[in-house]
Amino acid sequence: MEFFVVYITEAHSTDLWQMASNVKDGVLFGNPTTVAEREQVAESCVRKLHIPFPALIDGIENRVEKAYTGWPDRLYLIGKDGVVRFKTEPGPFGFSAADLAAALARL
């Protein structure tokens, strides 16, 4: 089974809506305006969260974010057939690692 994370637009950028927890944790990024900037932010996210699988990066036009209503952040589990198998509640407080683990186990 292959896993990927899709990095979409930064929900809590310093120039839009910064959360106090991001300031405390040193997660301070401006909203990327180029693909290269988005790649740098995504790379930092993957590294800091120790994500063990590849990251796909949504383009600056935010097509994936718009298609999956990823803002505020959500996690989706999508089967190889392209069907959504699991979706978290809007986050960051709607994310449950246990629920995601259970969905992965079911697949």
Q: pLDDT by residue (tens digit) across 1-31? A: 677 788 887 777 777 777 787 778 777 888 8
pLDDT bracket for residue 36 (50, 70, 90): very high
Q: 1-71: what fold?
A: Glutaredoxin (3.40.30)
Res 70: pLDDT: 62
- Alpha carbon dihedral 83, 81, 86, 6, in 10-degree steps, equals -100
The string of pLDDT tens digits covering residues 39-98 is: 988 888 888 878 888 888 999 998 988 887 765 667 788 888 888 888 888 776 777 778
pLDDT of residue 49: 78
For residue 104, give every residue at least 6 positions away whose Cβ sits within 8 Å of its Cβ, in sequence order, or none: 77
Domain coordinates in residue numbering, the chain = 1-71, 75-107
